[in-house]
Amino acid sequence: MPSLDDILKPVAEAVKNGKKVTFFNGAGISTGAGIPDFRSPDTGLYANLAKLNLPFAEAVFDIDFFKEDPKPFYTLAEELYPGNFAPTKFHHFIKLLQDQGSLKRVYTQNIDTLERLAGVEDKYIVEAHGSFASNHCVDCHKEMTTETLKTYMKDKKIPSCQHCEGYVKPDIVFFGEGLPVKFFDLWEDDCEDVEVAIVAGTSLTVFPFASLPGEVNKKCLRVLVNKEKAGTFKHEPRKSDIIALHDCDIVAEKLCTLLGLDDKLNEVYEKEKIKYSKAETKETKMHEIEDKLKEEAHLKEDKHTTKVDNKEKQNDANDKELEQLIDKLKI
């Protein structure tokens, strides 16, 4: 079995020869920061969200459900909001490629904005599923500033529109909403020009994003960095595909070593760790998120129990009134 160095050497050689890299990122590149992915059994966000007794786990990102009950989303958003997590080595690897002129574009499904926090410029980033960077009312579409939304969240209140009193949410693409226009416009321009495609930390199950790696030109060097084969790499593989079934941060470290960027990576990573010293370890954050969801689930159960108890008390009271009325009629 070839070593990881041997697997990644063609990627490093392509970059050294002037080829530019286009990234297609999923939640797996951020798990090293303590942000759980969506679909991993037991530890994924959807597994944890089951504790909230939602009609279905994905309801937390369903626009119709949000309009009925936005609290589950904001319970989760409080934990995932930018500033709670520091960029990983993979994010810094992207930034280092930008610095040396080897970055073409970053298409990301993630809403955590960690690419931005690592210093990747806006012109390179396409947030296919939106992000926390801006916020709008779901009814009248008026914008709310990030500072105002943060104030609501700090006060444990659901952000409401100052114009129509409708619910406000960050511009994250929910199920039932269309993707940003920027996504389609830039992909139309980029599609035929992708030279090296690094697909990282994604199960390639959510469309149309999942279709992108399969649409790149035949000359493109495609690289999958994931825990298992996924999407077009599994069902429509190409002979030139490079498969690295490893942790994203480990692959970033190896590529930096092969490109002579390892010292820079370690330097910037350590510097950023100090900068984001408030960002806890992965394990701590995972436990915090799970505890938060459990707490919310208990509150729901308590409310349900209280509601049942009150209903029983009301029924008892009604029965008593009925008995008194019957007694009066007997007289």
User: Residues 282-306: pLDDT tens digits?
Assistant: 444 545 545 555 555 555 555 554 5
8 Å CB contact between 226 and 249: no
Range of 73's domain? 4-294
Based on the residue annotation, tell me whether 129 is a catalytic residue of this protein. Answer: yes
The alpha-carbon radius of gyration of the chain (Å, integer) is 24
| CATH number (domain holding residue 147) | 3.40.50.1220
CB 121, CB 97: distance < 8 Å: no
Categorize the per-residue pLDDT at 178 as very low, low, confident or very high, splitting at 50, 70 and 90.
confident
Catalytic residue, chosen from 91, 129, 163, 235, is: 129
Q: What is the pLDDT of residue 53?
A: 67
What pLDDT is attached to residue 144?
Answer: 95
Structure tokens at 203: 């199960």
Total tally of structural domains belonging to the chain: 1
Q: What are the two backbone dihedrals, phi and then psi, of residue 319, each rounded to the nearest 5 degrees?
A: -60, -40
Is 160 contained in some domain? yes
Q: 14 lies in a domain? A: yes
Say what the pLDDT of residue 273 is.
75
Q: Say if residues 161 and 142 touch (Cβ distance below 8 Å).
A: yes
Is the pLDDT at 325 greater than 50, yes or no? no
Strand partners, 24: 107, 199
* pLDDT, position 66: 94
Beta bridge partners of residue 300, listed in sequence order: none
Q: What are 207's two structure tokens?
A: 């469309």
* Mean pLDDT score, 174-178: 86
Q: Does 205 map to a domain? A: yes
The phi, psi pair for 143, rounded to 5°, reads: -85, 145
Task: Decide if 317 is inside a domain.
Answer: no
- ∠ CA 34-39-40, rounded to 5°: 65
Q: Which of 16-25, 253-262, 278-287, 314-323 has the lowest mean pLDDT?
A: 278-287
The average pLDDT across 203-221 equals: 94
Q: Is residue 131 in a domain?
A: yes
Is residue 311 situated within a structural domain? Answer: no
User: DSSP 3-state assignment of 98?
Assistant: helix
In this predicted structure, the answer to whether residue 42 has a pLDDT above a threshold of 80 is no
**120 assigned to some structural domain:** yes
* 171 contacts 135 by C-beta, under 8 angstroms: yes
For 89-139, the pLDDT digits (tens) are 999 999 999 999 999 999 999 988 899 999 999 999 999 999 888 899 999
Q: Rounded to two decimals, what is the model's pTM?
A: 0.78
Query: Percent of the chain beyond pLDDT 90?
Result: 59
Amino acid 311: pLDDT: 52
Residue showing tokens 């969801």: 293
Q: Report if residue 39 sits inside a domain.
A: yes
What own/partner pairs with CB < 8 Å and gap ≥ 24 does 279-284 have?
279/33, 279/34, 279/84, 279/85, 279/86, 280/34, 281/34, 282/31, 282/32, 282/33, 282/34, 283/34, 284/34
